[in-house]
Amino acid sequence: MSKLDTSYTEFFVECDEILQRISSLLTKSEIHDLDQENIDSLYRDIHTLKGSAQLFGFRTIGLIAHGIEATLEPVRQKKVQLDRTFIDFIFKCLDLIDKILKNPERDLEREPALHNEVVVALPQLVTLAVKKFGGEFEFFKDALPDESSNHFLTKIIEKTQDLFEDNISSSVEMDISEKEISPIKLVPQEIKIENVAKRINTMEKPVVEEASSESSTIRVQVSLLDKLMNLVGEMVLTRNQVLQFAKTSEDNEFLGLTQRLDLATTELQDSVMRTRMQPIGSIFSKFQRVVRDLSRDLGKSIDLVISGAETELDKSLIEAIKDPLTHIIRNSCDHGLETPAVRKSLGKPEEGSLSLRAFHEGGQVIIEVKDDGKGIDPQKIKEKAIEKRIISPERANSMSDKEAQELVFAAGFSTAEQISAVSGRGVGMDVVRNNIEKVGGVIELHSTAGTGTTLRLKIPLTLAIVPVMVIRSKNDYYAIPQMKLQELLRVDMEEDVNKVEKLQGQDVYRLRGKLLPLISCEEVMHPETIKTAKTIYNIVVLEGENHPYGLVVDEICDKADIVVKPLPAFLKKVAMFSGATIMGDGTVALIVDTQGVAGAVKAPHSGDGKKSKIPPISGNSASFIETTEFLFFRLSHAGIFAIPLVLVQRLEEFPQTDVDYSGEEMIVKYRESLLPLISLNAYFGYKSDPKEACIDKTTVSVVVVSKNNRLFGLVVDEVVDILTSTSDITPHIKETRGLLGTVIAMDKKVITIVDTYSIIDESMGVPVKKLSRSLKKARVLFAEDTIFFVRQVTKVLEKAGLEVVHAPDGVEALKILKKSGQNYFDFVISDIEMPNMNGFQLASSIRAEANFKDIPIIALTTRFSEMDQKKGKDAGFNKYLEKLKSDELLEAIDKVMGDR
Amino acid sequence: MNTNQFSTFMVDGRYYGVNVKLVQEITRPMPITKVPLSPVFIHGLINLRGQIATAVGVRELFNLKSAPIDESSVYVVCKCDGLLLSLVVDEIADVLELEDTDFEETPETVKSNVGQFMSGVYKIQNDILSVIDIKKLVDFLNK
């Protein structure tokens, strides 16, 4: 029904437009002659009118239009000139068409007067025209080849013929009695019109009336609306300023006026916004066709139910969501709904149901696409994701079903087993999500395997005016879009049971049993500020890229509707802001880009911010984890920490009395030399004084680690255990001194990993090797299978300014190298012991490629015997280095790069 | 004879000018909103009757010593490529009408910290006016 309405409404609107265009053209022609272009466009319009009228069953209109078209033909061919009498006749014809269109019944049977008019006027027109312009009557007759049974139309034709033959050119008397055009005769051909009329009359909205009251709509340039919108934006701002000012005033009259201004402005804003609004039905109706075609192509039976087509959205937003929505619907039809046979076997109705619903909710428009198909099977998604290297098998195991389903939004994901013609053409759900987010929207997925999938798009009503929450940090005010805001929290450190806790210097808060990482707005905006403890935390919970996070602000001020002003391009580099706006007091406030803020605090070494051209295997994507063994130890009150076991040389207990001090440095005699001791408690600044901790006991627990052939002792309070963890090291949101990240131990506890080498370097006062001055911006391919070394080396290299692409083994490394072409990588670093293809094989394979026979290759290994070194040289390695000697590595890189 | 009008001002005791066609207005310093993490020469954003302009410190841009904003400081608001830039200068001077015959290319000895923003110089009585090319400035910002 809705489709029918829309189609007819469109037809009427189109007719109106055409009639208007023709009228204005003809009026113009009365002043001066029309040029060929005008006549062509006139002809085209009439032709279109004829076509669509006949298509929609308005035969009379079709005939009239045909009449005009026929008579215009000689004019178009420049055989004759348009003259005044002729134009008058066209006008009369147009009037006839207009009358038929405006007649609510559109049923000539009930309008004898109109009917008669047509029967009289049309033959006149045609006769006149044909007479005047010569012998084209056949052309007119041709219009109705099989209309012999239509008495009404035949009558017209006959009449015309008579007129034509009688040579009568004017004032033809009407001689058809009303009897002759009795309803019965008309019914067979006019039945359609009658039906239409009935249907139209049953419509909720009297569309017909709308069409008949001429001035109900006007067409306006979108640019004018845009300008209007901007002006209203300015006005809203001024209103806000006035209101702000009114707060300080005690003048009652003034207050009254501001209130009225406030109301009027709000209403004006609302109305102007509505001028840009369009019912979403304008795109919904297109989906009928899409779904019909798809169901035919796919051999599926799909019932599309549309509701809320009248829901209105800003025009630009409608344009913006059209493609993503089409994609979602295609996906549902293609991947979601099963074939009838499958559905039958599952006990579902053979006809799949797809519902498309739009409605308002909380100042947003929600568009819901729901199917009752097979849903998203988390297991299948995981398998696919592992196969596509989007996640690691370990990560997949620890994923919840919901998380797994969200993987469909990951870049480079497509679930269709076979790429069909319908979907799976490279544009995936990631693009859909991007496009929705671009207009400030949000996309949510709910799916139950077996019973169906629901996708919800939350779209803001309009782009120009955005509801925000204003927050204060120090003396600066920022605006946060309400769309991205989940909730507001206030945590009183003295009174609340649930407090902000520290996870290795990072604030976290338990929000309904889940850890919510906190980001201090002040620290993000002004990294140089010194952290201060707070008693009250005002937290704005925001949507991050994947997880929510809490932004700690000094004050949550107020809600406001703001007008977004774009930032100049060169400020877009500061990714934390999406725009600016002018506040009530006239000052400028920045609009926070919630994802940008989350991105800004990410640890630089996590590599997430760096773009690699081979996304799934990029940087230390943390995807290729193996079980790593960790040594767990306790540090006074701070809890359990861990060191990767690969770094640990030995565990020692020294009698307290053996510990000596050389200056500030703690040392102990160990294996014929002195072992420098580093107290981790002291390093991290934990309360318990190292000396006190030592005094308590008679012995000191020391973890002996080696770095660059030197041994160092890390003093801990107690060595707890050695445990294996399958989980990957999660880097901290923010880079913290001395810490590498966290890992989940067997008992699900979160353990913090200490960054052994940085601690040693820092404690020993070793300056960070700054080779970056001589290291050109280079790209390195790094083949290594152990995740710990991947992370360690990547960190060293990235610190030195190199771009690192990681490969989990030799086979993969070779693949990446070949794929990326000759000059993409500047050099290769490879482990020796790797699965599938070891370092020696990799090196010789690279050398065998003509493109890469000169690329520097550096071996990084624990196999460091002389024989191994020789073997390495033979295989084609330029340098052969022992693992975990970052200084030597950087030096070697410097050298091989310099040699090139 | 072809002439061009220049709005002239002082920065660090030196004499500069911009083509008056590009100058939208000249204002006293106004409340400014700093943009965290932006380059030092971006003073921040100002509200110019509902339009947002970016205040660019000419001293910082030229790598000169920063100076506090005081009563004589002036914002020279320029419009270029739809971008509103507000140059923060020490002191405003006259609008001069200068003849093309007095124009010369920037001498090569002018240091690049300023030279890269100049389109040339005008020889005037008692002084030489350095003409700042707003387009070059915008290109630099967008770089």
* B141/A565 Cβ within 8 A: no
Q: Are A563 and A237 in contact (CB under 8 A)?
A: yes
* Domain-embedded: residue A570: yes
Residues 6+ apart with CB under 8 A from A786: A626, A628, A646, A831
Q: Same domain, yes or no, for A851 and A750?
A: no
Query: Which residue out of A242, A528, A570, A591 would a mutagenesis test of the B interface target, given it has the greatest number of B Cβ atoms within 10 Å?
Result: A570
Give, to the nearest 10 degrees, the angle between helix A84-102 and helix A112-133. Answer: 150
Q: Same domain, yes or no, for A212 and A230?
A: no
Q: Are A65 and A7 in contact (CB under 8 A)?
A: no
Instruction: Indicate the pairing of strand A500-503 with strand A506-511.
Output: antiparallel
Which of the listed CATH numbers 3.30.1330.80, 3.30.1330.60, 2.102.10.10, 2.40.50.180 matches domain B3-142? 2.40.50.180
Question: How many angstroms separate the first and last alpha carbons of chain B?
Answer: 37
In this predicted structure, what is the pLDDT of residue A31? 63
Across-strand partners of A455?
A: A369, A445
**Continuous segment of H or E residues that includes residue A681:** helix A680-684
* A574/B36 Cβ within 8 A: yes
Structure tokens at A143: 């219009």
* Domain-embedded: residue A771: no
| Mean pLDDT (chain B, rounded) | 88
Q: Same domain, yes or no, for A856 and A791?
A: yes
Structure tokens at A42: 């006139």
Q: Same domain, yes or no, for A33 and A22?
A: yes
In this predicted structure, what is the pLDDT of residue A6? 59
* B142/A588 Cβ within 8 A: no
* Domain-embedded: residue A852: yes
* Domain-embedded: residue A121: yes
If you measure CA to CA, which chain A residue comes closest to B42?
A571
Radius of gyration over every alpha carbon of chain A, rounded to an integer in angstroms: 39
Across chain A, which has 900 residues, the per-10-residue mean pLDDT values are 57 77 74 72 80 74 77 73 72 77 59 69 68 54 48 64 54 36 36 47 43 60 81 82 83 88 86 81 81 83 86 82 86 85 87 88 82 86 81 79 80 55 55 79 84 87 76 89 86 79 80 84 80 81 81 87 78 80 82 81 42 30 47 76 77 79 78 80 67 59 77 82 64 65 67 79 62 62 81 77 83 84 83 82 85 84 74 83 74 73
The residues of B whose Cβ lies within 8 A of any Cβ of A are: 31-38, 42, 44-47, 50-52, 54, 83, 141-143
If you measure CA to CA, which chain A residue comes closest to B84?
A568
Spatial distance between the Cα atoms of B59 and B12, rounded to a whole number of angstroms: 7
In this predicted structure, what is the pLDDT of residue A633? 83
Domain CATH number, residue A264 = 1.10.287
* A570/B36 Cβ within 8 A: no
**Continuous segment of H or E residues that includes residue A65:** helix A59-76
Across-strand partners of A582?
A: A588
Determine the distance in angstroms separating the CA of A573 from the nearest CA of chain B, rounded to an integer: 8
* B33/A525 Cβ within 8 A: no
Spatial distance between the Cα atoms of A134 and A182, rounded to a whole number of angstroms: 34
In this predicted structure, what is the pLDDT of residue A137? 52
Domain CATH number, residue A758 = 2.40.50.180
Nearest Cβ partner for B37 among A237, A576, A587: A576
Spatial distance between the Cα atoms of A856 and A867, rounded to a whole number of angstroms: 21
* Domain-embedded: residue A891: yes
* B51/A580 Cβ within 8 A: no
Question: How many angstroms separate the first and last alpha carbons of chain A?
Answer: 74
Query: HSE (CB half, 13 Å, CA atoms) of A160?
Result: 29
Spatial distance between the Cα atoms of A562 and A553, rounded to a whole number of angstroms: 20
The amino acid at residue A184 is I
In this predicted structure, what is the pLDDT of residue A148? 42
- State the Cα angle at A286 between A425 and A311, rounded to 5°: 115
Q: Same domain, yes or no, for A173 and A151?
A: yes
* B33/A590 Cβ within 8 A: yes
Q: Are A889 and A881 in contact (CB under 8 A)?
A: yes
**Cα dist from A808 to A35, A389, A643, A649, whole Å:** 73, 11, 22, 26
In this predicted structure, what is the pLDDT of residue A213? 43
User: Which of A216, A245, A262 finishes a domain?
Assistant: A216
Q: Same domain, yes or no, for A207 and A259?
A: no
Spatial distance between the Cα atoms of A561 and A554, rounded to a whole number of angstroms: 21
Measured from the Cβ of residue A612, the count of other Cβ atoms closer than 10 Å reads 18
Domain CATH number, residue A43 = 1.20.120.160
Question: From the centroid of its chain, how far is CA A833?
Answer: 42
If you measure CA to CA, which chain B residue comes closest to A523?
B36
DSSP string of A857-881?
Answer: EEEEES---HHHHHHHHHHT-SEEE
Domain CATH number, residue A805 = 3.40.50.2300
Spatial distance between the Cα atoms of A555 and A567, rounded to a whole number of angstroms: 25
Query: Which residue out of A588, A590, A601 would a mutagenesis test of the B interface target, given it has the greatest number of B Cβ atoms within 10 Å?
Result: A588
Q: Same domain, yes or no, for A25 and A170?
A: yes
In this predicted structure, what is the pLDDT of residue A163? 63
In this predicted structure, what is the pLDDT of residue A738? 74
Structure tokens at A769: 């090797």
DSSP three-state, residue A684: helix
Domain CATH number, residue A361 = 3.30.565.10
Scored b (16 or more CB within 10 A) or e, A505-517 reads: ebbbbebeeeebb
* B33/A588 Cβ within 8 A: yes
Give the pTM: 0.42
* B141/A570 Cβ within 8 A: yes
Burial of A637 (0-12, 13-18, 19+ CB in 10 A): exposed
ipTM: 0.82
Determine the distance in angstroms separating the CA of B133 from the nearest CA of chain A, rounded to an integer: 18
The residues of A whose Cβ lies within 8 A of any Cβ of B are: 234, 237-238, 476, 524-527, 565, 567-571, 574, 576-577, 580, 582, 586-590, 600
Query: HSE (CB half, 13 Å, CA atoms) of A726?
Result: 10
Which residue segment(s) compose the domain that A305 sits in?
278-376+415-460
If you measure CA to CA, which chain A residue comes closest to B46?
A588
* Domain-embedded: residue A129: yes
Count H helices and E strands in chain A, helices first.
Answer: 28, 34
* Spatial CA neighbour of A349 closest among A337, A361, A332, A333: A337
Q: Same domain, yes or no, for A330 and A262?
A: no
* B42/A582 Cβ within 8 A: no
* Spatial CA neighbour of A189 closest among A248, A149, A145, A237: A149
Scored b (16 or more CB within 10 A) or e, A229-268 reads: beebbebbbbbbbbbeebeeeeeeeeeeebeebeeebeeb
* A568/B50 Cβ within 8 A: no
Q: Assign 3-class secondary structure to A518-532.
A: EEEHHHHHCCCCCCC
Q: Same domain, yes or no, for A728 and A581?
A: no
**Continuous segment of H or E residues that includes residue A395:** helix A393-397
Domains of chain B, residue spans: 3-142
Longest dimension (CA), chain A: 136
Please tell me which residue, A103 or B84, carries the higher pLDDT value.
Answer: B84
Measured from the Cβ of residue A86, the count of other Cβ atoms closer than 10 Å reads 21
Looking at the structure of chain A, the number of domains it has is 6
Give, to the nearest 10 degrees, the angle between helix A59-76 and helix A151-166. Answer: 30
DSSP string of A775-798?
Answer: S-S-EEEEE---HHHHHHHHHHHH
DSSP strands (E only) in A181-298: 277-279
Q: Same domain, yes or no, for A272 and A284?
A: no
Q: Are A365 and A358 in contact (CB under 8 A)?
A: yes
Q: Same domain, yes or no, for A759 and A783?
A: no
Q: Same domain, yes or no, for A8 and A67?
A: yes
Q: Are A703 and A714 in contact (CB under 8 A)?
A: yes
DSSP string of A358-372?
Answer: EEEETTEEEEEEEE-
Nearest Cβ partner for B31 among A576, A587, A590: A587
Spatial distance between the Cα atoms of B137 and B58, rounded to a whole number of angstroms: 10
User: Which of A170, A188, A216 finishes a domain?
Assistant: A216
Q: Are A727 and A642 in contact (CB under 8 A)?
A: no
DSSP string of A165-204?
Answer: HHT--S-PPP---TTTT-HHHHHHHHHHHHHHHHHHHHSS
DSSP string of A30-95?
Answer: HHS---HHHHHHHHHHHHHHHHHHHHTT-HHHHHHHHHHHHHHHHHHTTSS---HHHHHHHHHHHH
